[in-house]
Structure 1
Amino acid sequence: MVALVLAEEEGESFQGDGLFEIMEEKICYEMGVVVPKRIMDQIGEGYGCDCVELLVDEFNKIGLIVDTITGLHDDFLKLAAPVDILGKAAAELQLKKRTQIGVDLQFEWDESEAFIRQSDGSLFSWCERFRCYNHLIYGIVNKSESAIVLKSNCRDIEWEPGEPLLWKLETEAIVKEVFPIHDETMRKQLLKRWALNWWDLTNQPIDEIYDYYGAKIATYFAFLGMYTKWLIFPAAFGLLLQLVNLGSMQLWVLPVFFVCIVSWAVFFFQFWKRKNSTLLARCQICYSVGAESAYKYMDTEWSWFHSSVGLVKKLGADRSKEKEKFQREEWFVRMMRLRNDAIVILSIICLQLPFELAYAHLYESIGSDIIKFGLTAVYLFSIRYFTQIGGKVSVKLIKDEKNENSEYRANSLVYKVFGLYFMQSYIGILYHAILHRNIMTLRQVIIQRLIISEVLENLMENSLPFIKYSYRKYRAVRNKKKREKGPASRKPYFNSRVEKEFFKPIYSASIGDELEDGLFDEFLELALQFGMIMMFACAFPPAFAFAAVNNLTEIRADALKLLAMYRRPVPRLAATIGAWLNIFQFLIVVSICTNCILLVCLYDRDGNWNISPGLAAILIMEHVLLLIKFGFSRIVPEEPDWVKANRMKNATEAQNMCSKQLLRNMSGGRGMLVTDKTEI
């Protein structure tokens, strides 16, 4: 399906004028605005200011390059911005960028040469450019003292003084959507060097991905590539145990295998933390979890701290009230989170747990393997949408929580939704492992879950975007035919890339795109896969090989999806995997418990388990593995020394500069301070 979209785009790109296509690629259009077609016969002389014409004029006034494209049903405005326009917008936004000396300072366009450029030579990253575009296009306001009457196909709209123009047009449903569009030159380069490059199995152009998509998507693919590369060792070990008949030694080799697997998992995540910190340093990102929430409760702005006079006056004022406000807000937030967590846990116990146990019991009572396979497929397909409902309920619950920033809200959502998926993915298998105690049935269930879940997930990921895209195209062509009457009307077709991109679906999460994008589902798939192969590693060691092969194809499939099936995603600033790292760590601890049970439950020739080693063996094995888990995590430091040294140097130099500036301000305001003290 991805190949059909690629072939369609390449075929339709030559329907227009060749010279126009070359000129179009030289200008990097990065934003698209969807506006309605203008009905010319309804707009006569003296009719007033047309909304679209006024919008184009305002875009031109602020320095944007505008290209108007006529589509089948709507018109499209493609926007590009020269670097000086983006630089002035960045200065107004007070963006902080890395300088040549390694210190993050507020950007100034007149001093642009002092700031480090991106790996592709551009001054701003895609995330920074996107913020600048939004600041420019949504910053157009009515500066006159009276309202301006706008016209749109015989509709009168009053543009009030001080009101943003684009927001007003979106509210009136005149501007249907504002979305980022693909840069065809960079998209084709990424297709060649990344998505269609099957020779480098796990190596990916992370710098180019970061330049084009932003930090969050680049971090995901860096994690996926490293995870897939590290899977080679457990995959080879698991295949060796499956293919080589060790006889009575099999029971002794399995404990060694799982000890190696736990050590592998611990070292992998420690080395991932090192790589993540290296990526942050290489991408010039200063990432702080609570940076935007430090002054959440203050009624002052950041500029207040630049005034030494105001600082001295307000020190010690209303400290008791401020302390009470902090404490009240703190406990209120904690109680809201506790209430929401309780709702999710009770819903799992009362609604989902009986459903999971009923499926597991029904699976054991069925004798036909074909019917079992079909039951598993129906179960996974239905539970997918059942869990999505729980995810949407979690989104509504999080709206009541007063989290510090969007990252904390997203992490809270991840924990709640993964709790639902954790139950639906593993409770049935644990039921088979603990109650039925049949190793052959357990292996069969694991194989079916891995195959069906991965196939179903890949089928849904690749088919749904194509179906949505094809359906929207079909509706547009059908509506165009209905409007054009007469037998001589030619067949409508798409003559612009921006219109085809508009019909493509948004890269959003299955639970909604308010807090998370499509990477939520990608990380969820990896987490569920990791839990499956780790929690039941001793029952089916070749599962690691299956996961490695699946991830090799997942890298290219996800790349093709992003480049061909979806619109260009809105960039997000998060440059770590966030809450998913804690989830992976949690799965390692759970896998130690589950595999200890599997290891001490020795089975006879009939496949029935015999719990003869006793509880002592469980406790000994569990304590040893937990010691490995928490002991080995201290061996590998989470941050390379050179990254730590650069970060400390950056913080020290920034502190020295701020201290000197503060002393200058205090020295300049000494006279006022003395006057105020005398009056007191």
Structure 2
Amino acid sequence: MMDNDVKLCERKPATPTDPTSQSGHDNAVVYDSERRTNQLEAEDETSNTTETVKDKQNGEDGCKEAGLQLLQHKMENLINEGINEGQRFALSSDLWRFAAPTPHCDVLVTVAPKHEQGSLIATWLVAQIKKFEPQLRVEVRYHRLTACYGLYFTASYVNLLKGAELCHLVKPVKPRFGGGMKDFAFDEAQCYAGVEVKTAFLTGQERAYIVKQMIEMIRAPPGGLELKLTDDKSLIIREGRAIVPALMTEGLIARMLPLHQPERLSHLRQSWVMSILDEQPISQIKEYFGAQVAMYFAWLGHLTTALWFPAIFGLFMYWFGGTSFHRVLDSKLNNSPPRDDQLFSDICFVVFALFNCVWSTLYLESWKRNQAELAFKWGTFSKDSGSFLQDPRPDFKGDSQVPNPITGRLEPYYPAWKHKLVRYGITFPVTIICVCFMFAVMFSLFRMQDYADSIFGKSRYLSWVALLPVILYALVIIVGDKLYRKLAAFLNDLENYRTEEDYENFLINKIVIFQCVSAFGSLFYIGFYLRNMKRLQETLATLLITRQVIQNMLETAVPFVTDKLKFSRLTYRMTRSMSDTTLRRHVTAVREKRQSESVSDEPPTTPDEMNSPPLLRHRRAIDGQRMQPSFMVGQVGSPHRSPRLPFPEFYPEFHPTDESEPELTQAELEALMSTYERPLDDYLEMFIQFGYVLLFSPAFPLAGLCALANNLFEIRVDAFKLCNTVQRPFGRPVRDIGSWQRAMEVMGVVGVMVNCALIGQSGLVHRLWPDLSWGGQILIVVVLEHIILAAKFALDFAIPDTPEWVRIETAKVEHWRREAFNRESKFLTMEKRDSSPSIVSRERSGTSTAAKPPATKTPVFHKKRSITPSARYQVRNTEL
């Protein structure tokens, strides 16, 4: 195209006589040619750029598609891995669901998990037990689930009987020896009913209690003991201090617990937890968990029965308009005329307040009689509490070792003046300061709430500010309770009480005082400072319902789910090194073996009938677990064949690369559960609820009904907790509920005062005597209060705490014992008379009947070896 243009340009005529025009024509042709060339190059560049952009877009689309495919592939792999790991997680969880039982073990002691010197601690402890308490049978296993060592304790039947004497266990006596219940004496074992049956005479909780006492009473000898952990770190245990509690205080020993009996526990679940409408099996609870736990559930059942009366009466008052009393104060403040049904509402309010006073008195007296009956049936009625006959608690510290003035056994001695100095000089002031501080904080937050409500309560966007003091108050209650619990335990340890009963009673007193301020402070503030009965009713209803629901959830659902997730997580982590096929095969084998064992239901063999160590035989012969090379304490590699004290067996640490197939035991799982030392929190929860019903139920008549519904559910909740979510507690013989009885009696007196004060707040006195002064109204309320208190104390004095049939049976038992003693004394006298030579024969032989005066001899002290080192006592033997 460019050539044609040039030719056309050349055909144009030009003037030869004008050289300038010819030159311009040539320049125009060249310029046009260059312009055409630039346009063509630009078009080529544009086409190339377009192709490049298209190629780039195609490349980006390809990258995006490849990235999406890669992401999809990764997501699929992640989902598949998650499904596979979830299946492994669920499959490995069957290992703890079908955990092997641990028979022939009464007490389990676990060393601190993942401790660097775990084997050293276990070896040292077993060596001390072998030295100071050789009657104990102990074996050591390595817990792969928690990477710690566990010491399994038991004892022979004979040694358990000796320990029963030291623990003052009460057992039934044969009728021909007087009958009744009596402290067990080993020398008189043939006098007790059922002593010949080894498997039935001592219950599981009694065996565990005896073994626990034997372990805890092992104390450091003169000069103390030293546990050398590292080159520069060692633990010194002073003379007379209990060894195992000292190790627990230092964190070297994690847990000490009795193990559950699966068959008995399963039966108890069916007859107690699942039987909602049936009566509680108190006798079975006592046999399995001990008298202390059984006494709590008996008290809870008795309280539930007693709550039927205020529940029905309060429902009646609610239906007939008894709750409208809160309008009295409003009408008085607004100067509005009283309503027509005001008199009926006032009467309902006063009658309900008086009913509470009478009901609480009758309930407390009824429970005293009921607990006396239970204590007589359980053989703890004549238990001498707080005396020198009780052994000192393991954590009791003394300046020296002195003989007990009653028994003669050596035990720690702590001067009484030190105890009183700590109690009155430190504990009382600190407790009072804490209570006053809590009350001041609570009062300040309530005032802040009222102030914020008056300013921001009607605001559309800032009304939430009025809720901040309430939220802060709830946080203060939670944090303050936890901090004060630790402080109360520290102060109680500092006071150094000798017996477990004294320690627990004074701990209860400290906690109850603080809890009363935090639980009832808001109600007293609303009822007597603000004098707002409507708000008091709403607050009481909110506290009753929310507190009950939240506590029940925290007691059962949260620990149960948490423990199961913990078990599953640990078993999953323990089996990570196993392949899927190996894990599936191992879990199937464990499941089939447990099911076959449950079907076979073979009776267990007692430890005394076994020639080899009981736990070792169970491992090898019954479970078939693979055993690792073991070593003994003090003598590595050489087996010990002593039937009385089998040396422990140590299992090597479990490494993640190990391809062995671990099998969990029930003991390992129970060691991971929460502890349940005493029913203190359960008592406290019911005590606070009893205070709500007794003190402020006239403000909310349905409080009794709410408490009744909660208690019907609370019995099964606490039963579920004991059977499923916590460790089995050690049993302890008790004759009553201890300080809780005195606390409830004080609550009954305070209830009379508060109900009379509420009567004065209702305005009834002012309406009956409108011309009466304010001081006269207070005087009438005080006189009414004194009359009710006098009636309360009269009922307390008139109703005996012990039923007549219990007193008669106690007198019968004492009479039979005296008669049996007289018969035995006459029999021994006759035997001695028949065996001694007659006077005539002595005269014939020339022996004078006048005996020489006996020579004065120094009393001889014989040292007897008892079941525990602390029980070594001196017997004074003076020849008469």
TM-score range, shorter chain: 0.7 to 0.9
Which string of whole-angstrom CA distances, capped at 9 and with x for unpartnered residues, describes residues 129-157 of structure 1?
123323666799999xxx9x9999xxx99
Matched, 1:356 2:442: yes
> Quick one: distance in 1 between partners of 2:256 and 2:536?
50
Equivalent residue for 1:225, pick from 301, 312, 317 = 301
> Quick one: distance in 2 between partners of 1:300 and 1:194?
46
| Aligned positions of 1:370-389 closer than 5 A | 376=470, 379-389=473-483
Cα displacement (A) at 1:458: 1.9
Matched, 1:300 2:376: no
Which residue of structure 1 aligns with residue 206 of structure 2? 128
Which string of whole-angstrom CA distances, capped at 9 and with x for unpartnered residues, describes residues 157-207 of structure 1?
9xxxx999989998998875442111001110111000111122xx21000
Equivalent residue for 1:338, pick from 424, 427, 449 = 424
C-alpha spacing 1:184/1:598, structure 2 compared with 1 (3 Å): same
| Aligned positions of 1:385-404 closer than 5 A | 385-401=479-495, 403-404=497-498
C-alpha spacing 1:643/1:614, structure 2 compared with 1 (3 Å): same
C-alpha spacing 1:259/1:86, structure 2 compared with 1 (3 Å): same
- SS in structure 2 at match of 1:225: helix
Equivalent residue for 1:87, pick from 161, 164, 180 = 161
Contact 2:96 2:567 in 1 (8 A): no
> Quick one: distance in 2 between partners of 1:418 and 1:570?
24
User: Which range moved further: 656-665 or 238-247?
Assistant: 656-665
Cα displacement (A) at 1:594: 1.5
> Quick one: distance in 2 between partners of 1:219 and 1:93?
19
Contact 1:29 1:183 in 2 (8 A): no
Contact 2:388 2:404 in 1 (8 A): no
C-alpha spacing 1:176/1:531, structure 2 compared with 1 (3 Å): closer
Could you tell me which runs of 5 or more consecutive residues in structure 1 were left unpaired when the two chains were aligned.
1-6, 44-48, 307-325, 509-516, 605-609
Equivalent residue for 2:785, pick from 622, 628, 642 = 622
C-alpha spacing 1:336/1:532, structure 2 compared with 1 (3 Å): same
Cα displacement (A) at 1:627: 1.7
> Quick one: distance in 1 between partners of 2:246 and 2:718?
37
Contact 1:333 1:402 in 2 (8 A): yes
> Quick one: distance in 2 between partners of 1:434 and 1:172?
49
- SS in structure 1 at match of 2:257: strand
Q: What is the Cα-based RMSD across aligned positions, in Å?
A: 5.2
- SS in structure 2 at match of 1:633: helix
Which residue of structure 2 aligns with residue 421 of structure 1? 515
Equivalent residue for 1:195, pick from 273, 285, 289 = 273
Cα displacement (A) at 1:397: 1.9
- SS in structure 2 at match of 1:639: coil
Residue-pair matches, total: 610
Cα displacement (A) at 1:336: 3.4
C-alpha spacing 1:428/1:470, structure 2 compared with 1 (3 Å): same
User: Which range moved further: 103-112 or 612-621?
Assistant: 103-112
> Quick one: distance in 1 between partners of 2:91 and 2:130?
34
C-alpha spacing 1:398/1:301, structure 2 compared with 1 (3 Å): closer
C-alpha spacing 1:522/1:135, structure 2 compared with 1 (3 Å): closer
Equivalent residue for 2:386, pick from 269, 290, 312 = 290
Contact 1:507 1:566 in 2 (8 A): yes
- SS in structure 2 at match of 1:634: helix
Q: State the TM-score, normalizing by the size of structure 2.
A: 0.59
User: Which range moved further: 213-222 or 116-125?
Assistant: 116-125
C-alpha spacing 1:168/1:624, structure 2 compared with 1 (3 Å): closer
Q: What code does the residue aligned with 1:180 have?
A: P
User: Which range moved further: 537-546 or 294-303?
Assistant: 294-303
| Aligned positions of 1:468-479 closer than 5 A | 468-470=562-564, 472-473=566-567, 476-477=570-571
Equivalent residue for 1:181, pick from 259, 265, 271 = 259
Which residue of structure 1 aligns with residue 699 of structure 2? 539
> Quick one: distance in 2 between partners of 1:471 and 1:359?
39
Matched, 1:347 2:443: no
Matched, 1:32 2:108: yes
C-alpha spacing 1:485/1:651, structure 2 compared with 1 (3 Å): same
- SS in structure 2 at match of 1:179: strand
> Quick one: distance in 1 between partners of 2:526 and 2:449?
9
Which string of whole-angstrom CA distances, capped at 9 and with x for unpartnered residues, describes residues 356-401 of structure 1?
1123224434348998788656633541331221222122222332
Contact 2:170 2:379 in 1 (8 A): no
> Quick one: distance in 2 between partners of 1:526 and 1:453?
11
Which residue of structure 1 aligns with residue 363 of structure 2? 268
> Quick one: distance in 2 between partners of 1:564 and 1:81?
27
> Quick one: distance in 1 between partners of 2:688 and 2:348?
26
Which residue of structure 1 aligns with residue 672 of structure 2? 503
- SS in structure 2 at match of 1:614: helix
> Quick one: distance in 2 between partners of 1:9 and 1:107?
50
Cα displacement (A) at 1:301: 4.2
Q: State the TM-score, normalizing by the size of structure 1.
A: 0.74
Equivalent residue for 2:317, pick from 217, 224, 241 = 241
C-alpha spacing 1:57/1:593, structure 2 compared with 1 (3 Å): closer
> Quick one: distance in 1 between partners of 2:127 and 2:391?
39
User: Which range moved further: 74-83 or 618-627?
Assistant: 74-83
Which string of whole-angstrom CA distances, capped at 9 and with x for unpartnered residues, describes residues 383-442 of structure 1?
133122122212222233254522122211111111111111112211111121111111
Contact 1:411 1:578 in 2 (8 A): yes
